[in-house]
Structure 1
Amino acid sequence: MRVIIAEDQGMLRGALSALLDMEDDIEVVGQAENGEKALELIDLLQPDICLLDIEMPILTGLDVAEQLVARRYACKVVILTTFSRSGYFQRAMRAGVHGFLLKDAPIDELSAALRRVYDGGRAVSPELAISLWEAENPLTDREREVLKLAGEGLSAQEISGNLHLSAGTVRNYLSEAIRKLDAKNRIEAIAIANKKGWLD
């Protein structure tokens, strides 16, 4: 299988490439230091799998995955992360990601996951799978949208203008989000939702 690795840390990118290249059935055909470069390489080299770091400059791994879906590329995506945030995972699943793995997994676990994905399956690190059972996003899309704008410093009046809602309706969404997150106020609610990855 032909693989591209996108990871902003040069040492880790090089190590992953060298280790995967030692596998008889895996060929690393390209390396990228950011999401934009990854898209260019995918377009140019048409790999079977793209191994993407979840947090990279310019475009994140999730941004790249979403663009691949929009462009209807056949390349399968495996996300590498140090974060077990359920919000990230939910967004990855919506983007059609085939694998979601922790960076500190042993190389044999990573290569086995790549083979599983190549053969049409999915691969999720057990530690990440456990965290998903522990926390599902309780916010509706509209509550998430309102809370995200509040987190950007917009007032209820400004949010109402942005979303074409009444200020009262916006306040109701904020109140409901605060209640669902068991927060004392909107600032705490925003902090909780951000920590969980629910506003991404």
Structure 2
Amino acid sequence: MTIKIIIIEDQRTILDAFELLLDAVQEFEVIATFTDAHKALNWIKEHTVDMVLSDVEIPNFSGLEMAEEITKIKPETKIIMLTTFAKIGYLEKALDIGVNGYLTKDMPINKLIESMIAIYQGKTIISKNLNLGVQLNPNPLTEREKDILRLISFGLNNKDIANELHLSTGTVRNYLSIALGKLNANSRMEALKQALDNGWI
């Protein structure tokens, strides 16, 4: 059994370390590495790969955005997301997309290898501490509340948001007030920061 793997990681030092470690495993063959998720996705469209090992947070085009595209064009490819920070919203998005593994970068290498082989064989594996976090701290925001906070992140005021979402200004204020209450935030910017820090938007 040889599992053909590509690795996507925007930090070259980490990328090289993963490549070195995984290439030394008899069952694995690292056939390509990328620091850019766009380039990785274009490569995947033209090649056959068994498993994608990707960082979640990649600038410009995130690992999650890439994973969503891969599930559409190459659904047979196993996707493992790696993360340093336990942003619960990212895990929720990954599960919605249908990734096969969501693991922390600091897990022992032997556990990572065991998990990768198990995922290749058909299991879905989530690091236990991350899975617990989702149960303890689920995303409290509705889709509409998330939409409004996303637009706030672009600098839009309530009137602009209302026009963008085809709502009344009063309705936007109500949604925002509810979101602030859920997040125990005193301002729209504090609510936005909390949502971003947790990966909820």
Q: Could you say whether these structures have the same fold, taking a TM-score greater than 0.5 normalized by the shorter chain as the test?
A: yes
Alpha-carbon deviation of 1:104?
1.2
**Match of 1:84?**
86
Of the candidates 110, 113, 117, which is equivalent to residue 111 of structure 1? 113
Q: CA RMSD in A?
A: 1.3
Aligned pair partner of 2:131 in 108, 129, 132 = 129
Q: What CA distance in whole angstroms lies between the structure 1 residues aligned with 2:13 and 2:190?
A: 37
Following superposition, the deviation at residue 13 of structure 1 comes to 1.1
Aligned partners of 1:35 and 1:61 also within 8 Å? yes
Rounded Cα–Cα distance in structure 1 between residues aligned with 2:149 and 2:11: 32
Counterpart of 2:58, as a letter, is M
Q: Normalised by the size of structure 2, how large is the TM-score? A: 0.94
Question: For the residues of structure 2 that align with 1:151 and 1:19, how far apart are their CA atoms?
Answer: 39
Aligned residues: 199
Question: 1:47: Cα distance to partner?
Answer: 0.7
Residue aligning to 1:69:
71
Partner in structure 2 of residue 148 of structure 1: 150
Question: Is the 1:151–1:190 contact (alpha carbons within 8 Å) kept by the matching residues of 2?
Answer: yes
**SS of the residue 2:82 aligns to:** strand
Separation in 2, partners of 1:181, 1:160: 21
Query: Do 2:5 and 2:30's aligned partners in 1 also have CA atoms closer than 8 Å?
Result: yes
2:71–2:77 CA contact under 8 A, matched in 1: no
1:41 shift after superposition: 2.5
Say yes or no: does 1:2 pair with 2:11.
no
- 3-state secondary structure, aligned to 1:145: helix
Q: Structure 1 CA distance, aligned partners of 2:148 and 2:61?
A: 24
**CA drift at 1:193:** 1.2
SS of aligned partner of 1:139: coil
Of 69-78 and 85-94, deviating more is: 69-78
Deviations 1:114-169 (A, max 9, x none): 11110111111122122222210111000111122123211111001100111111
Indicate the percent of aligned positions where both proteins have the same amino acid: 39
Partner deviation per Cα, 1:94-119 (whole Å, 9 max, x = no partner)? 11111111111111111111111101
Which residue of the partner structure matches residue 52 of structure 1?
A: 54
Q: Tell me how far 1:72 sits from its aligned partner.
A: 4.4
| Residues in 2 aligned to 1:175 and 1:57: alpha-carbon distance in whole angstroms | 31
What 5-or-longer segments of structure 2 have no aligned partner? none
Q: Which amino acid aligns with 2:34?
A: A
**Alpha-carbon displacement from aligned partner over 1:64-101 (angstroms, at most 9, x marks no partner):** 00111232442111001101011000111111111111
Residue type at the aligned position of 1:80: L
**C-alpha distance in 1 between matches for 2:152 and 2:35:** 32
Q: Write the letter of the residue equivalent to 2:54.
A: L
